Amino acid sequence: MNFDFSDDAKALGEQARKLFADKAGTTAARAAMAPGAPAFDAALWAEVANLGWTAARVPEAHGGLGLTAEESCMLAEAAGAHLAVVPLVSVLLATEALLLAGTEAQQAKWLPGIADGSVIAVPAWNEPGAVNPGVLAVSASGNALSGVKSPVPDLPGAHLAIVAAAGPDGPSLWLVDLAGANVETVETLDLVRRHGRLTLSNTAAEPLGDASHYQQWLDRAAVILAWEAIGTASSAMNMTVEYAKTRVAFGQTIGRYQGVKHKCADMFIKIELARAHALHGVAMIGSDGPELRQAAAAARVASIDAATYCGEEAVQLHGGIGFTWESDCQFYYRRARAISASLSGRVWWADRLVRALELRNRAAA
Amino acid sequence: MDFNDTAAEAEYRATTRAWLEENAAEYRDPPTVPWKLDEFIRHSKAWQAKKFAAGYTGITWPKAVGGQGLGPMQSIIYGQEESRFHAPSGLYSIGLGMCIPTVFTHGYPEVAARYVPKALVGEEVWCQLFSEPAAGSDLAGIRTKAVKDGDEWVIDGQKVWTSFAHASDYGIVVCRTDPSKPKHKGLTMFIVDMKSPGVEVRGIKQMSGGSDFNEVFFTGVRVPDAWRLGAEGEGWKVALTTLMHERLAVGGKPRHAPGYATLIKLARGVESPNGGPAIEAGDVRQRIAASYINDEGIKLTQMRALSALSKGQMPGPEQSISKVVVAKTMQEMAAFALDLAGGDGFVTEGNDPELAKLQGSYLGAAGLRIAGGTDEILRNIIAERVLGLPGDMRPDKDLPFNAAA
């Protein structure tokens, strides 16, 4: 039994947590909120690229390190924990799409730039009115796409979009070069991570695999996003636990009260359940296992639940101070909404989970 | 990452499986008519003796006390393989899981030498006498007293929730030996002969209708000082080592508890009140997903612990979430399943076995949420030991026991 990250992946995660603890975190997040702040922290992004994190998952033939999805998940958890104002998670998700579905030529064209950090590639799934990743309005005509993708995380400043668009066999992915594309900033509940609107009007695009690749990519993306959410939820929990150890009310620290400590315990329970499923997910990516679909959906649902609960109860347990603009609680409260909106919310993923379980039950019967 | 055994584990599993195929064949299915107590004891003793002869008892215990001197993985593998059968090992789970390790860790060597072998071969059954009517979650509130009289101690008081007391030969009992000390300091643990004069065992009927536990009354029961486990006044520390074993023993999901597959099957077979099969209803699917996340999440969390054990490491703090999630999830899943079945889920006469099992799970879950640490105590433990939050206010903690309210 070896149900754990490799030592190499853990070491990379440790390195990432250290750098982000130093150069990201809530102070940097607050700076990113200021009017006129850049879309992301360019200096930190250069450091991330120099350390080889964008190259981690890229095959050696394309200028990368050829590491596994475990490394991507550890990086996503660290970025999520420190609200890092860099498009790292988006790039990891886009990399996964190119690895899964890209032709040799597409990989050769884009992966080296992703590896060295010069190309910021972002998935563009969301569109106005979309709640179901299987039903999209953006569509293709020949090798051109039309419609609106929004809100797209990390779109402002990106060079390549991996666009999900409707097709005859269901949606599939397309590559859209963002040079000269119609990109605007969209304001969202998340004041730290920039989101954008991509308006496609018969815009040139290249198919990236087929509908089945899209479905596989959804699974992999859900697992990586789950680790980001686990990072964010853990930070909300840690911040709250530290506060409960120092804040005094009725003559004792509030962490002594069961009304407070039991909520902290529930944060831990939800995070660990999410972690178990997300670990199952990354194990299934590694072994190309048949349980990937159910593991990914469970990881997605459990991690949304954990991030939502921890974000909400962090404000609650901080009391009035937690509700102020100056408190860091709002970052986690708001980020939980960003995580949920990034790839359809828990209702759709819970349904996908049950569908996967039904199929497995039928296969086993 | 993988879920595979190491080569050594695989070999142990194969040997174990082959032995069980050969020796546990009669327990492949549950008995068609449930055993009466004497039949259960007879089967249990015969099965334990067989296991002992083959080296499947005391797997993790040191060889010096008659164990096999193997690691936790071998013990877990044996448990996994045995659970594919319906072999009767429950009679010994508390005695060998908790009592006897306490006896050979804290008892006099000559006492251990007398009692450990007979317990291991299954000849003598042991029970654990800790809880009392006024000492449940607050276990250190024990009132049963032991008073020294020469080379003996005289025990008076009442214990409760004692499994298999009626079938036991011996027990380990925590008593208050010095009420002038604070509650955790004045306790001492002893071995007690359950057949000695002054011991009275009465069955407890549970709200579920079953009777798995007893209350035990002690009136002037005498035990020799040689049966003391640990020093006088050290009973609380000794009890903690015993309870460490209990948490490992009761963390898993009960065998009869429903799984998500049960919910899917049931939801496919019944109509939604709004028309169509229930499995197509959105809220039903959300509930099934939530059940899977808790139920399977604990299984996967236990895999994480097994991975650590397999590598010779200690499991991480995530293990502490198991029991609190398992018990509540069992209750929620059973209630939801019975709800899906409508009136049929409520009627108890002439029911199909699947529904009867769900009804049993629902009633039993209420007890599981209390046994071996209530939901509330387990949340305290997570908050205090894992997250480092301060302990609850305990106004009686440092007062002499007989001066506290």
Q: Which tokens sit at A36?
A: 């006129």
Rounded CA Rg of chain A: 20
A354 neighbors B285 (Cβ within 8 angstroms): yes
- Hey, are the CB atoms on A354 and B379 less than 8 Å from each other? no
B377, B137 contact by CB (below 8 A): yes
Q: Find, among B58, B43, B188, B202, the residue nearest to B130 by Cα.
A: B188
What local confidence, expressed as pLDDT, does residue B248 receive?
Answer: 52
Average pLDDT of chain B, as a whole number: 93
Out of A2, A237, A350, name the one closest to residue B1 (CB): A2
Residue B348 dihedral angles phi and psi, to the nearest 5°: -105, -10
| pLDDT in the model for residue B257 | 84
Q: How many Å apart are CA A313 and CA B375, to the nearest integer?
A: 19
Tokens of B352: 């199909």
Q: d(Cα B109, Cα B103) in Å, to the nearest integer?
A: 9
For chain B, how long is the longest CA-to-CA vector? Answer: 77
| Crossing angle (nearest 10°) for helices A69-81 and A88-101 | 160
Residue B181 identity (one-letter amino acid) = K
Domains and CATH numbers, chain B: 7-88 (no CATH), 126-247 (2.40.110.10), 251-370 (1.20.140.10)
Per-residue tokens: B203: 């069955």
Interchain CB distance below 8 Å, A276 and B297: yes
What H or E segment, with its residue span, contains residue B163?
Answer: strand B152-163
- What pLDDT does B250 receive? 43
pLDDT at B253: 75
Cβ of B2 within 8 Å of Cβ of A287? The answer is yes
Task: State the pLDDT at residue B245.
Answer: 64
| Residue B246 among the catalytic residues | yes
The Cα angle at residue B90 between residues B89 and B92, in degrees rounded to 5: 80
Average pLDDT, whole number, for chain A?
Answer: 97
Tokens linked to B351: 């029911």
Statement: residue A12 has pLDDT above 60: yes
Inspect the interface and report whether the beta carbons of B380 and A258 lie closer than 8 Å: yes
The CATH code of the domain at A212-364 is 1.20.140.10
Domain ranges of chain A: 7-118, 123-209, 212-364
pLDDT band for position A365 (cuts 50, 70, 90):
low
Which among A244, A274, A361 has CB closest to B261?
Answer: A361
**Cα(B77)–Cα(B93) distance, integer angstroms:** 16
Q: How confident is the model at residue A360 (pLDDT cuts 50, 70, 90)?
A: confident
> From CA B325, how far away is CA B333, in angstroms rounded?
12
Specify burial of residue B220 (Cβ count, 10 A radius: 0-12, 13-18, 19+): exposed
| Catalytic entry in B26, B232, B246, B318 | B246
pLDDT beneath 50: ranges in chain B: 249-250
- Tell me the residues of chain A between 105 and 124 that have a Cβ less than 8 Å away from chain B: none
Cα four-point dihedral sign A154, A155, A157, A158: positive
Task: Give A123-209's CATH code, choosing from 3.20.20.70, 2.40.10.120, 2.40.110.10, 1.10.3470.10.
Answer: 2.40.110.10
Please report the residues numbered 16 through 45 in chain A whose beta carbons come closer than 8 angstroms to any beta carbon of chain B: none
* Max intra-chain CA distance, chain A: 71
Query: pLDDT by residue (tens digit) across A191-207?
Result: 999 999 999 999 999 99
Mark residue A226 as left, alpha or beta (left: phi above 0; alpha: psi -120 to 50; beta: remaining): alpha
Mean pLDDT for A285-293 is 94
Each residue of A121-165: pLDDT tens digit? 999 999 999 989 999 999 999 999 999 999 999 999 999 999 999
CA A281-A285-A286 angle, to 5 degrees, is 115
CB B42 within 8 A of CB B48: no
C-beta atoms of B382 and A269 within 8 A: yes
The b/e string for A76-96 (b: 16+ C-beta within 10 A; e otherwise) is bbbbbbbbbbbbbbbbbbbbb
Is residue B293 within 8 angstroms of chain A, CB to CB? Answer: yes
pLDDT in tens, B297-330: 999 999 998 899 888 888 888 888 999 999 999 9
CATH T-level fold of A7-118: Butyryl-Coa Dehydrogenase, subunit A; domain 1 (1.10.540)
Per DSSP, the residues of B253-295 read --TTS--HHHHHHHHHHSB-TTSSBGGGSHHHHHHHHHHHHHH
* Test the A interface: residue of B293, B306, B386 with most A CBs within 10 Å: B293
Q: Does B298 touch chain A (CB under 8 A)?
A: yes
Query: Does any CB of chain B come closer than 8 Å to the CB of residue A280?
Result: yes
